[in-house]
Every structure is written in C-alpha cells, then in structure tokens.
Amino acid sequence: MFISVSASAVTQQSGSVGIEGKIPSNPPTQAATIDIPGNGQSFSTLPITVAGRCKTGLLVEIFKNNVFAGSVVCTNGSYSLKVDIFSGRNDLVARVYDDLNQAGPDSNTVSVTFNDGLPNTGPRVSLTSVYAKRGANPNANLSWPLTLSGGTGPYAVSVDWGDKSAPDLFSRQVAGDFDIQHVCGQSGIYNVTIKVTDANGSTAFLQVVAICNGSIQQSATTSGGAGNTTSKSAPGLVFWVVVGLFIPILLSSFWLGKQHQLQTIRDRLRHGERPL
C-alpha cells in the first residue's frame, strides 16, 4: 500500500499554522464544448457570448487564437461568459482545468470573425492575464496582474468584482502591465469582469474567477494556459497527513515484532525446547 502526501505549513495573519496537501488524481478526460457562437459567425459589436457544455466544478478557460480570453467555473453542466475578440478571424477553443491545474482535452474549435467599424489607428485595445483563477482568505487583499496592450491612451478601467461591492473605476495613461486590488469579503466564488476603454472608444473585456475562501496558492501561466492551481486547507487533509505518518510506524512495529518472534524461536531451539 502506498500513500503520497504533500504537506506544508502556511502562516496565517492570525499567527496560526494551517496544513495544506494535494492528493494526486487523474486529469479531466471530458472536453468542454463550444455551442455558442456558431462556426463561421461574424460580429460587429463586442463582447460576444461564448457558451457550451462541461463537467460541473471544472474551470473553463476560453482562448482566442491561443491567447487567454476569459474563464468561468462550470455550473450544472454548462458555462457561459462574455469575451472580446481580435479584429478579423478568431479561432475559439475552450479548455478545462481541475483544482490541480491539470488540463483536460481541448474543445471543438469555433472560427468567428469580428468586423471592427472603428477607424484603423493601429492594434485594437486588448486585455489579458497570466491568471485565470486566483484567490485569498476573507478580509485579505487580493492582487491580480493584468496586461493592457494596443489602443490609444488614456484608458478608462472598470472592475466589477462580482461580490456586490461598488465597481473600481480608475484611468491609465499608457498601456502595459498593472495590478488591480480588492479586499476579499464574504467567502465564495466570484466572476470578476474587467473593462478597458481607450481614447478612441474601443473596448476590451476580460472575465476571470476570484475565490474568497481559505488558503489559495496561485500559479502563473504555463504552456497549457492561464494559471489556476488551488490548494485548500481542510480537516480531511489533516487525516491523510496523519495516515501518511502512521503507516511507516505501523510497518516498523510489525517488522520489529517479527524479528523478536524469530529470535525467541531460535533461542528455544538452541536450548532443545519446542519452538512453539
């Protein structure tokens, strides 16, 4: 019997120590589908809705031309979110990830076209992140790095954190990397919507998943997509850690007992006694 346990101590703001662990499991085997929009569909306004079927509980990430475009948690076997797309042709793919950041198979590819009616003044404004899912403890600060590119400054930024708090509104003079900040309130899973509008009226959208519940460990983008690894503190993990520590002790005790029994038999034989 073999049990693999990974445990680490996590220092909380209160000074307490939590136990974290990951129990290995197989990656998802069921791909999500993209049912909306239809293949070959054209659009003249943004954002567009992407929807389909998936396995409940998995994180669904949407990619446009292999660039992260948004994420949502699969609920009741389906998902739906709004994304923006590039001017011209976009190949849309949905990828599912479990809590260990293991990717499942890709969905069907849906090709759509966006006909931008704005004057051609250079690359259209675009927004992305290396994180599809991130989180923090309740009442702790949640920081989310974003990358803004294209368009013409200044930029107006709106962030709806999905927790019924007032949206964050601010401006940026130039494109580039920046962080958004929020204090996690009530525990839960929230869809965060970020909207950026440039000086020409062109708008970029990005939806991601924020978790305010327990200890969350973030991971950056890998070749498979945006990071979403989550490590949860739970009493069940303490049980597995105890089991992992107890089994070696049990096996050692069993081995020592057998050695003692064999030595007793040898001593009895040496003195001409019956072994048992």
CA atoms of 17 and 14, how far apart (whole Å): 9
Residue 166: half-sphere exposure toward Cβ, Cα within 13 Å:
3
Confidence band (pLDDT; 50, 70, 90) for 255?
A: low
Q: Between residues 69 and 273, which one has the greater pLDDT?
A: 69
Q: What is the pLDDT of residue 199?
A: 95
Q: What is the pLDDT of residue 213?
A: 80
What mean pLDDT, rounded, does the chain reach?
81
CATH superfamily for domain 23-230? Immunoglobulins (2.60.40.10)
Q: What is the pLDDT of residue 256?
A: 59
Confidence band (pLDDT; 50, 70, 90) for 273?
A: low
Q: What is the pLDDT of residue 270?
A: 63
CA atoms of 241 and 180, how far apart (whole Å): 36
14 pLDDT more than 50: no
Q: What is the pLDDT of residue 186?
A: 86
Radius of gyration of the chain (CA): 26
What is the arithmetic mean of pLDDT over 227-238? 44
pTM score: 0.71
8 pLDDT more than 50: no
Domain locations in the chain as residue ranges: 1-8+235-276, 23-230
Q: What are the pLDDT digits (tens) for 160-200? A: 999 999 999 999 999 999 999 999 888 999 999 999 999 99
Letter for the amino acid at 273? E
Q: What is the pLDDT of residue 104?
A: 97
The three-class DSSP label of residue 250 is helix
What is the arithmetic mean of pLDDT over 38-63? 98
Q: 11: which residues sit within 8 A by CB, 6+ positions away?
A: 17
Q: Between residues 17 and 123, which one has the greater pLDDT?
A: 123
Q: What is the pLDDT of residue 215?
A: 46
Q: What are the pLDDT digits (tens) for 85-121? A: 999 999 999 999 999 999 999 999 999 999 987 666 6
- Report residue 44 as tokens: 């003249």
Q: What is the pLDDT of residue 137?
A: 92
145 pLDDT more than 80: yes
